[in-house]
């Protein structure tokens, strides 16, 4: 396969030379050609980075530029992009989506530092989302951060009552202010080997101009505040493959597959992907790990690997006790809250308010606390439609929703069909890895039907002279068997 790739690139390079007169030589043997993000693999992400460079929306480091120069002609241009796409095709990776960033140059926008209003609004959203998704008999894992990013992008296309409902459900802040807060939150996250929170956003829409006309202002706003790439795609099996590949890459493959198919009614997907990877500030040593017992919600007991340590930040409220265990750098910590005996997790969550939760998390007591934390891994996936509707935005899921700032549709309808959410977490002696993805599926249905008449039982019929409105034949149909 490698030899075939070298021969193909050499042949294409010869064509480039004959057309352009540029000196060309093969870079396939170097092992780095096309690996722009320097992760050791060719992927769709490399093609996206090259497209952004060519559209002047991203600069390259020297290493990235050298990797992008596929034909080693000392320049990076459309020929290199073509070579990269063909290299991806050889690997079985299809990149059918057309990046629309050619029309979108990211503008300088103002951010806003987190203050009490933002913190309380985000706590309100996070707690409410957990309260509306947690169940009595199964593990739950959500990323309010991921869901917020995806829904805020979606809200930028809403108008009127739909926009007002979404602002309420997202914590109550005006959308213009929320964009500024979320911009600063996203761009200020740590990104180091010991602790990183990486965020990626994208908007995919159906390549059907007769059916859908997307607002450039909507795309521009989400490019400015959320660095959202925009793709026009056929919304067939290749788009399903592209979207799943994009999500897998941007969750460090913790969410390998998000969607199975795209409904014919779906015209847009707004997607967020998040990767969290952090090492403990004080990792667990082998002698701190031993078998322990975990009692499940139904009273059954399970053997687990329990990690024991002395920590120094104790959490307590009237119904629970807990602790913080910090990750390297101190920007993030693992917080555990154990409801008191006789109080179920659901009962505990139901009794929390945004204010009480924030007070508990913001006021740890500096004291010694002996802790036991089980190693665990969890995958979770769910539709958030019912939860979000209950949180104050039911209208966004109705055909009467107003997303007129997002796009014009042939049917005149545009609404949220589904909000899909998937998460994964690994907690062990070294630290924590977690990934999350949120997909908002926008649908454009048919025009509403005012009345419906189905002749599925006996009926009367006529043949009418329309000038006089007189029947010229009349009859009844009582049975189709005669």
pLDDT in tens, 289-327: 999 988 888 888 889 899 999 999 998 999 988 888 889
- Mean predicted confidence (pLDDT) in 208-216: 90
Q: What is the pLDDT of residue 102?
A: 43
C-alpha separations of 30 from 6, 24, 33, 71, 74 in Å: 11, 15, 7, 11, 15
More confident residue, 395 or 473: 395
Q: What is the pLDDT of residue 17?
A: 34
Q: Average pLDDT of the chain?
A: 84
Q: CA 167, CA 156: separation in Å to the nearest integer?
A: 10
Q: Among positive and negative, which fits the CA dihedral 377, 383, 387, 393?
A: positive
C-alpha separations of 147 from 129, 170, 196 in Å: 9, 10, 19
Secondary-structure breakdown of the chain: helix, strand, coil percentages, each rounded to the nearest 5 = 35, 30, 35
Q: What is the pLDDT of residue 398?
A: 95
Confidence label for 95 from pLDDT (cuts 50, 70 and 90): low
* Residues in a beta bridge with 232: 98, 205
pTM for the model stands at 0.77
Q: CA 379, CA 435: separation in Å to the nearest integer?
A: 10
Instruction: State both tokens at 440.
Output: 């908002």
**DSSP E strands, 146-300:** 195-206, 212-214, 229-233, 266-279, 289-295
Instruction: Tell me which residue of 354, 351, 366 sits closest to 319, measured CA to CA.
Output: 351
Residue 399 φ/ψ, nearest 5 degrees: -55, -20
- Mean predicted confidence (pLDDT) in 148-162: 97
- Choose which CATH entry (1.10.1330.10, 3.30.1130.10, 1.10.490.10, 1.20.1290.10) describes domain 2-95: 1.10.1330.10
149: how many CB neighbours lie within 10 A of its CB?
A: 27
Confidence label for 62 from pLDDT (cuts 50, 70 and 90): confident
Q: Which stretch of 217-221, 270-274, 474-478 has the lowest confidence by average pLDDT?
A: 474-478
Domain boundaries defined on the chain: 2-95
Q: Which stretch of 93-102, 163-172, 388-397, 458-467 has the lowest confidence by average pLDDT?
A: 93-102
213: how many CB neighbours lie within 10 A of its CB?
A: 13
Confidence label for 149 from pLDDT (cuts 50, 70 and 90): very high
- Mean predicted confidence (pLDDT) in 270-279: 94
């Amino acid at each position: 396969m490698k030899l075939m790739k070298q021969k193909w690139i050499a042949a294409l390079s010869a064509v480039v030379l004959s057309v352009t007169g540029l000196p060309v030589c093969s870079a396939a043997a170097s092992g780095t050609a096309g690996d722009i993000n320097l992760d050791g693999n060719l992927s769709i992400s490399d093609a996206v980075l090259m497209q952004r460079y060519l559209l002047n929306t991203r600069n390259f480091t020297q290493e990235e530029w050298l990797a992008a120069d596929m034909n080693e002609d000392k320049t990076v241009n459309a020929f290199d992009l073509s070579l990269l796409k063909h290299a991806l095709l050889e690997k079985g990776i299809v990149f059918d989506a057309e990046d629309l960033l050619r029309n979108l140059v990211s503008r300088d926008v103002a951010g806003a530092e987190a203050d009490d209003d933002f913190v309380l609004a985000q706590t309100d959203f996070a707690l409410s989302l957990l309260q509306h998704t947690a169940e009595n008999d199964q593990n739950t894992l959500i990323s309010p951060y991921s869901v917020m990013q995806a829904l805020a992008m979606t809200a930028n296309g809403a108008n009127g009552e739909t926009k007002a409902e979404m602002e309420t459900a997202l914590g109550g802040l005006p959308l213009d202010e929320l964009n500024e807060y979320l911009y600063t939150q996203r761009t200020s996250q740590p990104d180091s080997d010991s602790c990183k929170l990486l965020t990626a956003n994208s908007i995919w829409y159906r390549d059907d101009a007769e059916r859908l006309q997307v607002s450039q202002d909507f795309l521009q706003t989400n490019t400015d505040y959320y660095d959202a790439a925009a793709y026009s795609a056929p919304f067939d099996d290749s788009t399903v493959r592209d979207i799943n590949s994009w999500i897998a890459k941007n969750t460090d493959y913790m969410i390998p597959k998000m969607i199975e198919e795209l409904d014919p009614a779906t015209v847009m997907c707004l997607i967020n992907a998040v990767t969290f990877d952090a090492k403990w500030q004080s990792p667990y040593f082998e002698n701190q790990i031993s078998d322990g017992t975990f009692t499940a919600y139904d009273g059954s007991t399970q053997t687990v690997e329990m990690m024991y340590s002395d920590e120094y930040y104790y959490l307590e409220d009237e119904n629970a006790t807990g602790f913080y265990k910090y990750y390297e750098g101190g920007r993030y910590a693992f917080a555990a809250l154990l409801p008191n005996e006789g109080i179920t997790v659901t009962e505990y969550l139901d009794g929390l308010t945004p204010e009480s939760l924030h007070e508990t998390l913001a006021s740890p007591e500096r004291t010694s606390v002996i802790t036991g934390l089980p190693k665990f891994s969890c995958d979770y996936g769910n539709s958030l439609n019912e939860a979000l509707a209950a949180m104050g935005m039911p209208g966004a899921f109705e055909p009467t929703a107003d997303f007129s700032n997002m796009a014009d549709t042939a049917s005149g309808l545009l609404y949220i069909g589904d909000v899909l959410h998937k998460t994964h977490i690994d907690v062990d002696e070294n630290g924590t890895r977690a990934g999350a993805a949120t997909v908002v599926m926008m649908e454009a249905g048919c025009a509403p039907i005012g009345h419906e008449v189905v002749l599925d039982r006996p009926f009367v019929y006529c043949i009418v002279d329309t000038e006089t409105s007189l029947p010229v034949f009349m009859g009844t149909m009582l049975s189709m068997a005669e």
